[in-house]
Structure 1
Amino acid sequence: MISIALPLLGVKMRIVCIFIVGCSMSRILVVDDDVSLCELLEVVLKEEGYQVSSVHCGESALSYMEKTSVDLVLLDVMLPNLSGMQVARRICQRFATPILMLTALNDEQSMLEGYQAGADQYIGKPFNVAELLMRIKAILRRVGLERQRQVIYKTVESITDKLSSLPLTGTEADLLSYLVQHQGIVISKAELQTEVLKKELSPFDRNLDMHVSNIRRKLVEAGLSKQHIKTFRGKGYSYLDTSSRE
């Protein structure tokens, strides 16, 4: 990290640059009528690895977001025409983009109004660059995790729909259900035999293996991997999700 003293940002005509090496491809939109501050934030954030654009009024911000996907908005409260609070409300109505408010109005009432308008975080001017970057990273990390959860949820939902539509016999359905309920856990053949097939396991009984083989075949026919049901030699079977395939 190469840095030049920059304790606080947001004080006009008293701004010096900081260069921090980082990496990210997130797109940040800076909305502030202070052109000098916008230019500096662009330098700082681009050096951190972000894609950055800046506009100087609320109308331009909303117009930009209609055309371009944005991961985070740095929004000043005191803007010409539309106030930052109004812009925040409109962003929340139209988009699912997080907002970090930057403003000299850092009293408790203003902060409360900012959060009520839809701000995810609120930082007062003048602000510390390191704190700003930390907050940006925290917001984007949360957004990234939420997107991952949504992808995982949709994947699981899709798999669940396919599983529920498999043409299974009653015993096969009970067996698959038992394995799914204990996902990621190796279930012994003896347990599956007694809990699902309702009889003790005998040395030459291949009934359980036959049911597992049939389920795997039907999984493949439905476009799923037969490796959802994994054999652990000498131990038993386990149901694995898509991220655990081998």
Structure 2
Amino acid sequence: MPAPSRILVVEDDAVINQAVTDRLRGEGYEVDQAWDGPGAVALFAETDPDLVLLDVMLPGYDGHEVCRRIQAERPVPVLMVTARDDETDILVGLGVGADDYLTKPFRMRELVARVAALLRRVERATTLASRSEVAFGDLRIDAGSRRVQVGDAEVHLTPIEFDLLLCLAGSVGVVLTRESLYAEVWGWSGASGTRTVDSHVKALRAKIGADRIRTVHGVGYALEPGAS
């Protein structure tokens, strides 16, 4: 029987921290707790968690800085929790390596579902890595090494950005709904996740070229094979 996944909960509100910890332990996860930025980074190095649940507003330094530091150590799924439903704030989090975000107040059931979905996505990454290299014009995607090149330049994507691009490349030219992308890439279907998709598409466009991903308003996105 495989060992349970280990989760690091980083939240300075003691009541929320304990409530989340108790719920996740009740779901069978091993959970470690941190209450500030420096403590979170130190505990991350010590416990080597499979996923980090990370509040944005923390003493010491904020969640964005914590995320930047831990992702510099090794890639790890990060579910960021924020009290502000602000696109700029969310894009900053995605830019430093967060995979998904949840806005306070949240339902424990949704938090548990998103945690499970992110952990499933990591498992699916092994399967995706078996795919061969694909190319669209000067855009090349190597699923095995998880590398992307535009022309002669390598483009550095976060793990979730790579999985999103690979999903779009699997149906090149076909419009995929935001809901289907969220279900496929993040592994959990929920209308509240569509803004997460929009934010990641925006970040991905900034790295590979805006014209490569076509928007169909009210529907979703498609990877354009002839764009450059």
TM-score in terms of structure 1 length: 0.50
Taking the aligned partners of 1:43 and 1:147, their CA distance within structure 2 comes to: 30
1:84 equivalent in alignment to 2:84: no
| 2-structure distance, mates of 1:146, 1:65 | 22
Of 41, 61, 64 in structure 1, the residue corresponding to residue 20 of structure 2 is: 41
* Match in the other structure for 1:217: none
Aligned AA (1:107): D
Give the whole-Å Cα distance in 1 for the aligned partners of 2:130 and 2:47: 22
Richer in strand (by share): 2
Match for residue 105 of structure 2? 126
CA positional deviation for 1:95: 1.5
Structure 2 residues without counterparts, runs of 5 or longer: 133-143, 145-228
1:64 maps to: 43
Distance in 1 between the 2:7 and 2:40 partners?
11
Paired residues of 2:82 and 2:102 also in contact (CA < 8 A): yes
1:30-55 Cα distance to aligned partner (Å, 9 max, x none)? 00111111111111001111111111
Counterpart for residue 73 of structure 2: 94
Q: Deviation digits for residues 126-177 of structure 1, max 9, x if unmatched?
A: 0122211111111000112224666999xxx9xxxxxxxxxxxxxxxxxxxx
Equivalent residues of 1:73, 1:100 under 8 A apart: yes
- 1:79-228 correspondence runs (5 A): 79-147=58-126
Q: Could you tell me how far apart the structure 2 residues matched to 1:148 and 1:55 are?
A: 33
Distance across 2 between alignment mates of 1:79 and 1:88: 12
How far apart in 1 are the matches of 2:14 and 2:74?
25
Q: Classify 1:112/1:42 alpha carbon distance in 2 versus 1 (closer, same or farther; 3 Å).
A: same
Code of the residue aligned with 2:40 in structure 1: it is A
Distance 2:79 2:13 in 1: 16
Within 2, Cα distance between the matches of 1:106 and 1:75? 15
Which of 43-52 and 128-137 deviates more?
128-137
TM-score (norm 2): 0.54
Residue by residue, what CA displacement relative to the aligned partner does 1:84-143 show, whole Å, maximum 9, x if unpaired? 111111111112111000110221221111111211001100012221111111100011
1:109, 1:150 → 2: CA distance? 32
1:216 aligns to what?
Answer: none
User: In structure 2, what residue type is equivalent to 1:84?
Assistant: G
Cα deviation 1:173-193 (Å, max 9, x = unaligned): xxxxxxxxxxxxxxxxxxxxx
Q: Give the SS at the match of 2:65.
A: helix
- The answer as to whether partners of 1:57 and 1:80 remain within 8 angstroms in 2 is yes
Given that residues 24 and 48 in structure 1 are in contact (C-alpha distance below 8 angstroms), is that contact kept between their aligned partners in structure 2?
Answer: no
- Does the 8 Å CA contact 1:100/1:119 hold for their aligned counterparts? yes
